[in-house]
Amino acid sequence: MRIEEDCIGKLAVEDQALYGIHSLRAVHNFPISTERLHPLIIMSLVQIKQAAATVNQAAGTLSTTKAHAIKAACDELLQGQYADSFIVPAIQGGAGTSANMNVNEVVANLANRLTADADVQPNDDVNQSQSTNDTFPTAGKMALLQQLPGLLSALRDLLQVLGEQGEAYANTIKVGRTQLQDAVPTTYGRSFHAYQHLFKRDLDRVQAAGEHLQTVNLGGTAIGTGVNATPYYQQHVIPTLNDQTGLDLKVATDLIDATQNCDLLVEFSGALKTLAVDLSKFSNDLRLLASGPQAGLAELHLPAQQAGSSIMPGKVNPVIPEVVNQVCFEVIGHDTTVTMAAEAGQLELNAFEPIMFRDLLASEHELQQAVQTLIQNCLRHLTVKQDQCADEVDQSAITATVLTPYLGYMATTKLIKRALSQHQSVRRLLVAEHRLPTELVTKLFAPTNLTQPRQPQKQQA
């Protein structure tokens, strides 16, 4: 064991451990769960350390030997080596200081192993020109940006499959429903296209909110004033980081504002929450339309994925929409956490970014996975029972709505009541009673007329 010392006191650390006293204190202090800091945040912090070493060397504030040692250590870490050295919990006090120091300690100790006589120090060298308060939020945004393309791609795939279903069932008429009661007819083509437009707005919202995450406060150090950072560092660290990562990060116009306020995270969380709300509503519709198969609506057939009961033979449940619902419930809860954490920040810093980034990364990833399983295991193989839908329209008394321009609202209401009481379709009742010409009845109850705006009827003089 080796003995390390900080402002609190001394602590024994295993000899071969790359982490140090700050990391170990975090493990002792935050035994909230077994979940560790997200790997993308760790790798983003490592990338920041590498960029900072490059810029500090060019600024003349870090020796070439130390800079090369730091960059060599970062290269190995970015290849996935020594991942077990990052031990700090995902949920932690200190505004991310434990996360930043875990990376500082690992980079410094590894640099000293790789380069003899480098004498790299975690705070003085690896953390030079930086603070947790600008590195941790920048790393968190970088992590979200690196995950974002997967979610956007999944949403584009969702739009495509909904468009395909819309074309496949363009002329499949169905009973519309409002407040779970029969309403005027529509088509499944229109229904699928309506969902497609809904998720196109979600795609646009998430993409726009994601672009705002490119604005970071790196270079602001402790509270945004840039104390202990050189002007050269402030001017070059983000371009250097962009060259390394391919991310299009931008320095915030006001670094003090960007250090203390988390509205961009709330905005992004809100876009994810809206997507979750829409996905859950869509999943509810799928489960309802596929309910049965004998005592429910049973208009849709969802592909069977697994046995649905340990006691009822042959039962199959809508497990894919169900799991999507549950993901959405969690994302909505995460948004509440992000909202409260952002609101709870005080003065020059928000101390609660660890939980914000933890929940945002989880939401982003889980939504991607939920959309993908919804597409692959449900929507691509979903079918509509077209004959059943046509029969339901024919038997629906609400189709008589098309008669109101000819018979009036009250007369049509009485006709509907009679049709329901006699268990007849309105169309057949009209023909039997010769209330309107047969040709007109046939035209009025044609699927195209039932689902389109009516042509104006000229009034008699």
pLDDT in tens, 210-248: 999 999 999 999 999 999 999 999 999 999 999 999 999
Segment 324-372, tens digit of pLDDT? 999 999 999 999 999 999 999 999 999 999 999 999 999 999 999 999 9
Q: Count the alpha carbons within 13 Å of 194 in the hemisphere toward its beta carbon.
A: 10
Question: So what's the pLDDT on residue 432?
Answer: 82
Residue 356 and residue 210 share a domain: yes
Q: Which one of the listed residues 309, 363, 396, 425 is annotated catalytic? A: 309
390 lies in some domain: no
Q: Count the alpha carbons within 13 Å of 367 in the hemisphere toward its beta carbon.
A: 38
Nearest to 391, CA basis, from 436, 449, 447, 448: 447
Residue 316 and residue 264 share a domain: yes
* pTM for this prediction: 0.94
Question: So what's the pLDDT on residue 400?
Answer: 81
Residue 218 and residue 298 share a domain: yes
Residue 400 and residue 375 share a domain: no
361 lies in some domain: yes
Please tell me the distance from the alpha carbon of residue 161 to that of residue 195, in angstroms, as a whole number. Answer: 11
Residue linked to tokens 């982003």 = 364
> What percent of the chain clears pLDDT 90, i.e. is strictly above it?
83
Residue 207 and residue 105 share a domain: no
Domain of 70, in residue numbers:
2-128
Segment 10-54, tens digit of pLDDT? 999 999 999 999 999 999 999 999 999 999 999 999 999 999 999
379 lies in some domain: yes
317: CATH? 1.20.200.10
Residue 139 and residue 122 share a domain: no
336 lies in some domain: yes
8: CATH? 1.10.275.10
Nearest to 43, CA basis, from 106, 134, 117: 106
Q: 309 catalytic, yes or no?
A: yes
Residue 174 and residue 62 share a domain: no
Residue 278 and residue 256 share a domain: yes
Domains in the chain, number: 3
Residue 206 and residue 178 share a domain: yes
The mean pLDDT values, 10 residues at a time, for the chain of 461 residues are 91 94 96 96 98 98 98 97 97 97 98 95 98 98 98 98 97 95 94 98 98 98 97 98 97 98 98 98 98 94 91 93 98 98 97 98 98 98 96 86 89 87 84 82 83 65 44
Torsion angle defined by CA atoms of residues 26, 32, 35 and 39, in that order, rounded to the nearest 10 degrees: -40
Question: So what's the pLDDT on residue 461?
Answer: 44
Q: In this structure, are residues 215 and 125 in contact, taking their beta carbons and an 8 Å threshold?
A: no
457 lies in some domain: no
What is the number of other CB atoms lying within 10 angstroms of the CB of residue 136?
26
Residue 238 and residue 175 share a domain: yes
Residue 294 and residue 167 share a domain: yes
